[in-house]
Chain A
Amino acid sequence: MSTAMGSLILRTAARFLLPLLLLFSVFVLLRGHDEPGGGFIAGLVGAVGFALYMFAFDAARTKTLLVIPPVVMVGVGLFAATASGILPVFVNLPFFTALWWPVELPGFGEVKFSTPLIFDIGVYLVVLGSVMKIVLALAEAEE
């Protein structure tokens, strides 16, 4: 497919677009609690970025770029999401009680670390991992 689809324009664009889209996806993930966004959308944005890159180049290259295998990503995500629910149990609160640790960062304002944030990161990883797994599998079957 790389020869059929990979035009020079697309390749150049993909090189620039991928980091931008990834950055955007993290941005969408982190702002999600107050503004439109969240782990699910952010995961999809990230997946679109990688899918675009895959069109421009090929599946193998995308895989190396991902570093972490998609299935591992899904596993880590599920673990993080589950762990964020179990965490409050250790401080004698019911399962899935949200814990908040607001931190004042100099020059950046207040940052709200919390178990919902960990949970949302878990969702992000699961969505990104799952979509990439499917897209890569299809592309590889193609080749």
Chain B
Amino acid sequence: MLLAVLSGFILAALAPWLTRSLQDKAGWVLALLPAGLFVYFLSWVPVVVAEGAQVVAYPWIPGLDISLTMLVDGLSLLFALLISGIGTFIIIYAGGYLHGHEYLPRFYAIMFSFMAAMLGVVLSNNLITLFVFWELTSITSYLLIGFHHEEKESRWYALQGLIVTVGGGLALLAGLIMLALAGGSFELHEILASEELRDYGFYAGMVILILLGTFTKSAQVPFHFWLPNAMAAPTPVSAFLHSATMVKAGVYLMARLNPGIGGTELWLYALGIFGALTMFTGSFMALRSTGLKAVLAYTTVMALGTLTMLIGIGTEQAIIAAMTFLLAHALYKAALFMLAGALDHETGTKDITRLGGLRQLMPITFITACVAALSLAGLPPLFGFIAKELMFEATLQAPLISTFTTVLAVVSAIMIVAMAAVFSLRPFLGPLKETPKKPHEAPLSMLIGPVVLAGLSLVFGLAGFLPATALVGPAVAAVHGAPLDFDLYLWHGINLPLMLSVLAVVAGLLLFWQWDRVLAVYRRMTFIDRFGPERGYEKLMDGLVWLAAWQTRLLQNGYMRNYLLTIVLTTVGLTGWTFFVHTGSSAPLGTIEFAVHEIVVAGLVVLGAIVASVTSSRLGAVATLGMVGFGIALLYVFFSAPDLGTTQIMVETLTVILLVLVLFRLPAFQNLSSAAARLRDAVVALSLGGLMTLLILAVNAVEVTDRISDQLVAWSYPEAHGRNIVNVILVDFRALDTLGEIFVVGLAAIGVYAMIRLRAEDRKK
């Protein structure tokens, strides 16, 4: 199971090399991995059907009782099968669609990384692992949307998708941690078994944070705008990430958590209302789109809204409807996307209004598009029909928000029927229209996926018991928390859902007939573009840039003295505030006894500091600062810290060398600061010194009974084979800290080098 997830990453590393050596056959050969994974996951189906959810654990850090666990149940299997199954066809398809593209090797590498990350999301049992994979899907999605990175638009939309989903991801992280606190574990199967999640003190906050993550990921209103923009990606990406898999990660998480935190009024209202609004917005915007991919993108928004709404409603009917709809949508949407890509690829345009009369030139595309679009429109005998009937039934029976959801569901269904007709009929019927490329049928690699997936829509529609027992049933059991007995079939008798379906189809066809007029009406509704949430996003980005510029001008103004002032004042403010608030002025101050030689050295240090700050000679300042440094080194030696003392001496020596190097370049000392500024600096310096003195005296007064240093001294030789405790701490006890420090040292060196070089190059110009 672990290998199943990681194999995608391994292949991703090899993919560029394989793609180059396999040339034209790369797509077909690389598709063997997802195909193999599909078969592997299929072999789990009987296990899960017979024995229920399985937890597969791999020990990771056994000392801390951390293991890598994976949860295999109906829900994760349904998703895993969709990811690997559709992934197989996408990989083959991409070989044809991006045939000969110079970045094809890179494309496969990112695509397989994405696939592995997505499998990780749906199979993780640990919340942190889930989150890591979740973010990985965002990052790979970013790289894929921005695939055509020479185009400014691609980059902008890629960044938009990333900022929206990763911003939501931050909220999600907080939400997941709260969930772990509420459930007392980071393991999903333990959390969901807990009965107390809904009584958790911060339940509302936790749910809202988690939903911020899932809503952004699954493009719910008002965050839906990034998804249609993500169509800047090549079509295989849109078909895989932005319809069938990644955008459903949010839906997955809501479905996954439903048995644990669902079923409350907050859950019902949040998911039900936002889901229904998203469903409506998606179909409303789809109706006005003329781009093939834009239509599909907005119908995807519609589908994601529907799924969210159904999970929110949460009745038995609704869960069955949600899982059925999930499967139906993945099948027809992936097929439609690949067909849209085929049309675009063979004709050179994505604009529906510029396509027509292709039925004889692209017959297979035409028939497949009709089958898939029938499923999208929800007509018998396709699987989409069953899903839609179930959806109507669920909204009719929904608690509290039944009228609201049903009305929106019917209105959306009408518009979707119209768009399904537009998509499947407009490019193919009527007279042949002039297109940028001379159209002909797409190659086999680009047709096999849509044909198989559309065929499955038909088979599942006619034989509903197949998906019901193997796929939807176990998934429903996982989302509902307990198995449900149900069957999927086309004919439900003449009832209200059927009447609503008929209404939707009739009204939808009317809309299709009058589509050109509808478009004209939309064109007058300019407020959509002017006041949509995307404007909000742009305003937010502008605001961020403005804020960054403002705070840079304020804080990073390039004056060393201002940096020092800020650092010192912040330290004094925060430390002093904490000190006085927590101990008041009543803190007992310890006393320190001095030896004569200590007083002499300390006096020299102070004297050096005073001379350094009043001298008017540079060399004098350097020398007196050296006096301060060597004095402190001497003090270290007095207090038996020879390591520190030596280091201090070395640092002092080097500082003098560095100062001498820059000294010649500087002009003579001038008195530039006013008396007031000097007074201010003196006050700041004295306040820091005073505070540190106070702190040390206060610390000295505290009696520590069990010093950690005693423990370290005791361990040093027997445990770490070293007598120099300082060094043992540095390289053994706290080696991880030292590792961090030397990374900082290295980075600092590179930073200094860059600054010096930049200045030198500036001067040359």
Those of B745-765 within 8 Å (CB) of chain A:
745-746, 748-750, 752-753, 756-757, 759-760
Q: Could you say which residues of chain A place their CB within 8 Å of the CB of B643? A: 36-38, 41
Q: Could you say which residues of chain B place their CB within 8 Å of the CB of A95? A: 736
Give the docked Cα–Cα distance between A140 and B743 (Å). Answer: 25
- Let me know if A112 is at the binding interface, CB within 8 A: yes
Give the docked Cα–Cα distance between A138 and B757 (Å). Answer: 9
- Inter-subunit contact A35/B742 (CB<8 Å): no
Q: Could you say which residues of chain B place their CB within 8 Å of the CB of A142? A: 661, 664-665
Residues 109-129 of chain A: 1 if any B CB is under 8 Å from the residue's CB, otherwise 0? 000101011011011001101
Chain A binding surface SS class: helix
- Let me know if A48 is at the binding interface, CB within 8 A: yes
Those of A24-70 within 8 Å (CB) of chain B:
32-41, 44-45, 47-48, 51, 55, 70
- Let me know if A141 is at the binding interface, CB within 8 A: yes
Closest to A5 in B: B660
- Inter-subunit contact B727/A32 (CB<8 Å): yes
Chain B interface extent, by class: 35 or more
Interface pick from B102-110, B496-504, B645-653: B645-653
- Inter-subunit contact B647/A40 (CB<8 Å): yes
| Contact of A32 with B724 at beta-carbon distance under 8 Å, contacts A48-B650, A96-B735 already known | yes
- Inter-subunit contact B661/A135 (CB<8 Å): yes
- Inter-subunit contact B723/A134 (CB<8 Å): no
- Inter-subunit contact B658/A126 (CB<8 Å): no
Closest to B647 in A: A41
A94 touches which one: B61, B654, B756 (CB < 8 A)? B61
Give the docked Cα–Cα distance between A123 and B658 (Å). Answer: 21
- Let me know if B739 is at the binding interface, CB within 8 A: yes
Give the docked Cα–Cα distance between A138 and B727 (Å). Answer: 31
- Let me know if A14 is at the binding interface, CB within 8 A: no
Give the docked Cα–Cα distance between A96 and B738 (Å). Answer: 12
Give the docked Cα–Cα distance between A37 and B646 (Å). Answer: 8
Q: Could you say which residues of chain B place their CB within 8 Å of the CB of A32? A: 724, 727, 731
| Contact of A119 with B735 at beta-carbon distance under 8 Å, contacts A44-B650, A74-B749 already known | yes
| Contact of A130 with B748 at beta-carbon distance under 8 Å, contacts A38-B727, A81-B742 already known | yes
B731 touches which one: A39, A41, A55 (CB < 8 A)? A39
- Inter-subunit contact B720/A116 (CB<8 Å): yes
- Let me know if A10 is at the binding interface, CB within 8 A: no
- Let me know if A137 is at the binding interface, CB within 8 A: yes
A82 touches which one: B724, B739, B749 (CB < 8 A)? B739
Q: Could you say which residues of chain B place their CB within 8 Å of the CB of A35? A: 723-724
- Let me know if B722 is at the binding interface, CB within 8 A: yes
A129 touches which one: B642, B654, B664, B746 (CB < 8 A)? B746
- Inter-subunit contact B736/A47 (CB<8 Å): no
Centre residue among A41, A95, A114 by max chain B CB count within 10 A? A41
- Inter-subunit contact B647/A134 (CB<8 Å): no
Those of B95-120 within 8 Å (CB) of chain A:
none
- Let me know if A71 is at the binding interface, CB within 8 A: yes
Q: Could you say which residues of chain A place their CB within 8 Å of the CB of B756? A: 137-138, 141
B730 touches which one: A38, A117, A131 (CB < 8 A)? A38
Q: Could you say which residues of chain B place their CB within 8 Å of the CB of A39? A: 730-731
Give the docked Cα–Cα distance between A107 and B587 (Å). Answer: 60
- Inter-subunit contact A74/B746 (CB<8 Å): yes
Chain A residues at the B interface, C-beta cutoff of 8 Å: 32-41, 44-45, 47-48, 51, 55, 70-71, 74-75, 77-78, 81-82, 84-85, 94-96, 98, 100, 112, 114, 116-117, 119-120, 122-123, 126-127, 129-131, 133-135, 137-142
Q: Offer 28 A-B interface pairs, CB within 8 angstroms, sorted by A.
A: A32-B724, A33-B728, A35-B723, A36-B646, A37-B727, A38-B726, A38-B727, A47-B654, A51-B657, A75-B746, A77-B746, A116-B731, A116-B732, A119-B731, A120-B727, A122-B742, A123-B738, A126-B745, A130-B745, A130-B748, A131-B654, A133-B750, A134-B658, A134-B752, A135-B658, A141-B756, A141-B757, A142-B665
Known: A37-B643, A137-B752. 12 other contacts (CB 8 A): A38-B724, A38-B731, A40-B730, A41-B646, A44-B647, A51-B657, A75-B746, A77-B742, A85-B739, A94-B61, A119-B735, A135-B661
Ranked nearest first, the 4 interchain pairs of A and B with the lowest CB-CB distance are A44-B650, A130-B749, A33-B722, A36-B642
